[in-house]
Chains A and B, each alone.
Chain A
Amino acid sequence: MDKPRVAIFDFACCEGCQLQIVNLEEELLDVLTLIQPVEWREALSDQSDTYDIAIVEGSITRPEDEEKLREIRAPAAILIALGACATMGGINKLKNNFAMDEVRAEVYGKDGSMPHLNTLPTRALDEVVKVDLKIHGCPINNREFAYILRCLALGKTPAIPNYPVCVECKMRGTVCRYEYNEICLGPVTRAGCNAPCPSAGFWCFGCRGYVDDPNVQAAREVMEHYGKTMDDLKSRLLLFGSGQEPTS
């Protein structure tokens, strides 16, 4: 069987998720046994319009992005959203808390009204085109990326967890951030990252998005118990949770 032709594209993002793929290092050779990259800005000088799988990172923030994404989608049998910006808009969605004029003035000052600086409220890929698979995280977990790639090669639907990060903290023996009276988004955030943040002593930022059925109401109710306010919780949700719908 011919290896599937894979093209990697990027929109508004830091391109750190592509970098995570490059960070597979010697395993990249193994990756190449399964796929044939035909476009990949960070690792390849070639470009191509014919491919089977499009892997797209970044979020959609300009009218021309929208058009380009539709063009990318058209020939692709499978479109994969790579990383938080692509799967749910990511940090870029912070912008949606402001009016677009305000945003342009803040970033570009007096030049903000120039036409080429036109900007739209941030959208995740699936708010524009059909997305077949989401690889969550900011950045993605490249172990999970590798696993997903192998699943696709086997024609298998990868098992992406639909349980909270707490599961992975418990498996690692990580002490809960709430034991230190710290708000952590782990209880409503999809696992699969292997909980690196809480294990390093940070709260979970929620970069993989909500589980399918997040109990956000419960999160509100427990704030009081930890001597926190709703505003404290909201400020934590802002980074990845601005206008976020439960992800799938």
Chain B
Amino acid sequence: MIQSKPAMEGKDIYLPEPAKLLKVEPLTRQEAFFEFTLLSGRDLGHLPGQFVELSVPGIGEAPISVSSSPTVRGYFEMVIRRAGNVTTALHRMEPGSILGVRGPFGTHFPVDTVMKGKDVLFICGGIGLVPVRSAIQYVLHHRADYGRVMIVIGTKTPADRLFAEEMEKWRKHKQVTLLETVDRRDETWTGAEGVITRLLPLVQVDPPKTIAVICGPPIMYKFVVVELIKMKVPDESIFLSFERHMKCGVGKCGHCQINGIYVCQDGPVFNFTDVREVEEAI
């Protein structure tokens, strides 16, 4: 006898709750912007840097980080790159479609604790900006709670830039320093060209007062961390967000394990001191 109703106390950690797609807008060739709301009406209740598991019935489930700040109420935003089956299906969905959400899962950028009162340096490569945007929005929403706000963004080409309009707002913001580079320029681009690490020496940081937040492609971490250490930013002031293969999001399936660490539970946001000795992590 197979039953559909839980026979035991407790909720099914694998059961998604229904959510509605409110808005889809293409951003680049690969990425699109999405707005969702939970059908129950409750807020997602995430903190910047956390992720959810998104389900498309018939297609499957994929971990996606939340891109809007929890200060935005009533809905949440994501930027999703077309990479696998689930994300491809999401790109084809129409507003009004119902899908499944589990989460939020994992650790968050410490916007509510150690970042408070400090200068914050956000370093984002490519779609690494997606989860960090949530933290940037949060910090700007509570601007008085933080010291200087510095944002360093690297993108492959000008055509791959995400949140271009929002970046313009940040650039014009009197209390924000924004530095941007592209790996390969084109005729539309008048800004800096080259890898993101070349921008870091241009940021004047006060090391003991600075908290650095990093998110980007796997290759980026090593180089950025070396640069930060050169700049004398203390190890315990560096936070990194990792990507790994994830299935369950709740520390069971084993896929995201890096040595003794489960990225889905112990991460995705890690303090550098917790992973610097961990082989395979960076």
Contacts and interface: CB of A to CB of B under 8 A. Distances in A.
Whether the complex brings A and B within 8 Å at their CB atoms is answered yes
A156 B92 CA distance: 11
B88 A155 contact: yes
A217 interface: no
A165 to B, nearest CB: 22
Q: Chain A interface residue count: which class?
A: under 10
Contacts of B92: 155
Interface residues of B, number: 7
Which of A154, A155, A156, A157 has its CB near the most chain B CB atoms (within 10 A)? A156
A156 B87 CA distance: 10
A156 B59 CA distance: 7
Interface in B44-73: 58-59
B89 interface: yes
Nearest to B88: A155
Contacts of A155: 88-89, 92
A183 B84 CA distance: 37
A142 to B, nearest CB: 21
B85 interface: yes
A154 B92 CA distance: 11
A132 B58 CA distance: 22
Contacts of A154: 58-59, 89
Contacts of B85: 156-157
A233 to B, nearest CB: 34
Contacts of A157: 84-85, 88
Nearest to B85: A156
Interface string A141-155: 000000000000011
Contacts of B59: 154, 156
A13 B92 CA distance: 39
A155 B86 CA distance: 10
Contacts of A156: 58-59, 85, 88-89
Interface string A134-173: 0000000000000000000011110000000000000000
Contacts of B89: 154-156
Contacts of B88: 155-157
A159 to B, nearest CB: 8
Nearest to B86: A156
A150 B209 CA distance: 56
Nearest to B60: A156
A155 to B, nearest CB: 7
A146 to B, nearest CB: 15
A155 B89 CA distance: 8
A157 B85 CA distance: 6
A9 to B, nearest CB: 28
Interface string B81-101: 000110011001000000000
Nearest to B84: A157
A157 B60 CA distance: 11
Nearest to A159: B85
B101 to A, nearest CB: 20
B76 to A, nearest CB: 25
A12 B84 CA distance: 35
A114 B213 CA distance: 75
A155 B85 CA distance: 8
Contacts of B58: 154, 156
A174 B88 CA distance: 37
B157 to A, nearest CB: 26
Nearest to B59: A156
Nearest to B92: A155
A154 B89 CA distance: 9
A156 B86 CA distance: 8
B189 to A, nearest CB: 34
A110 to B, nearest CB: 57
A156 B84 CA distance: 9
Nearest to B57: A154
Nearest to A153: B58
A139 B59 CA distance: 27
B256 to A, nearest CB: 19
B223 to A, nearest CB: 29
A155 B93 CA distance: 12
A57 B89 CA distance: 30
B244 to A, nearest CB: 19
A180 to B, nearest CB: 32
B91 to A, nearest CB: 10
A155 B92 CA distance: 10
A-B pairs, 5 with minimum CB distance: A156-B85, A156-B59, A154-B58, A157-B85, A154-B59
Given A155-B88, A156-B59, 9 more contacts: A154-B58, A154-B59, A154-B89, A155-B89, A155-B92, A156-B58, A156-B89, A157-B85, A157-B88
Interface of A: 154-157
14 contacts: A154-B58, A154-B59, A154-B89, A155-B88, A155-B89, A155-B92, A156-B58, A156-B59, A156-B85, A156-B88, A156-B89, A157-B84, A157-B85, A157-B88
